[in-house]
Chain A
């Protein structure tokens, strides 16, 4: 940007005489001009409102479309529920039990197994006693040497 613009120096006498004539300085008010320039710049800045306005409009559009979509979905689900036959869902009402890994529920558990003991503990001590297998003479003789957990009452009786 070149702002310096010197007067031509290769002037003849007439040119020098004319160049000495000073143009009239009428209404050369710098402050007025700067005020007008600043005001014009501020007015031009109002164009910056465009983007926020556009963003706001798009946000409103997204909100309206979202509400419309949710209403449409709710109506579709209601229609689906109306049209579909109601099947008895007994399996859905039962609480699901989680079987331990590696244990086949179809096979009976051995009373001496760890899983059986755990289940008995979870059910309570009374049920544990009830689940005690009937003592046979053979087993009596076999188990007499080894004290089982559920035989603690017997020890106290003796």
Chain B
């Protein structure tokens, strides 16, 4: 019944904060603050949770949903448009980071959330199902649907555009 050690907390933060921020960016709101608050909450636990990483994702998701509702209300009130964010630092040679973020952002939220939690969060499908409150087959289905959509869009975006014939 001892709180998590600061060294371990720092190590976890270095290891998982970027992916958690990417996960939190699936909702509007301050992703960095949400992730930091999740780690602060982890530090305040009298005994650390058994599965730390899924616990962190759950805390970030709950906070992001709450913050997303507030941000959506504010956007509706102020008429502001969210600025595009750089979700990725480095991608591959065939794509730039902003384009990759745009491709991912165009996925429906449920598919996008599943893909991010699986690919960059490293969660298992059981953990994703528990996180999203859905069944295991649903988590599988959403993941594969997200991947299929991404593949199509990636192929489309990487296909070199043929120059229009001049008359």
Residues of chain A at the chain B interface (Cβ within 8 Å): 1-3, 5-8, 11-12, 14-15, 17-28, 30, 32-34, 36-38, 40-41, 44
- State A32–B89 Cα separation when bound (angstroms): 21
Contact B21 A23 (CB under 8 A): yes
Q: Give every chain A residue within 8 A of B13 (Cβ-Cβ).
A: 28, 30, 33
The answer to whether B100 touches A23 (Cβ under 8 A) is no
Distance in angstroms between the alpha carbons of A30 and B12 in the assembled complex: 10
Residues of the B chain whose Cβ atoms lie less than 8 Å from the Cβ of A18: 115, 119, 150
Q: What are 18 A-B contacts with C-beta separation under 8 Å?
A: A2-B51, A5-B122, A8-B122, A8-B124, A15-B119, A18-B150, A20-B92, A23-B22, A24-B21, A24-B22, A24-B97, A26-B21, A26-B32, A28-B14, A36-B36, A37-B43, A38-B6, A44-B44
A21-B92, A25-B17 known, 16 other contacts, Cβ within 8 Å: A1-B51, A2-B50, A2-B51, A3-B11, A7-B122, A8-B122, A8-B124, A12-B147, A14-B154, A22-B18, A23-B88, A23-B89, A23-B120, A30-B10, A37-B9, A41-B44
Residues from chain A with a CB closer than 8 A to the CB of B53 are: 2-3, 5
**Contact (Cβ within 8 A) B147 A15:** yes
Set A15, A17, A20, A34: member contacting B6, Cβ < 8 A: A34
Chain A interface, DSSP helix/strand/loop, else mixed: mixed
Partner of B44, one of A7, A25, A40: A40
5 closest A-B pairs by CB: A37-B43, A23-B22, A23-B18, A27-B32, A5-B53
Give the A-binding residues of B (Cβ under 8 A).
3-4, 6, 8-14, 16-19, 21-22, 32, 36, 39-40, 43-44, 48-53, 85-92, 97, 100, 115, 118-124, 147, 150-151, 154
Chain B residues lying within 8 Å of A33, measured Cβ to Cβ, are: 9-10, 13, 17, 36, 39-40
Please tell me if the beta carbons of B21 and A14 are within 8 angstroms of each other in the complex: no
Give the distance to chain B from A35, nearest Cβ to Cβ, in Å.
Answer: 10
Point out the residue from A5, A21, A34, A44 that lies within 8 Å of B10, measured CB to CB: A34
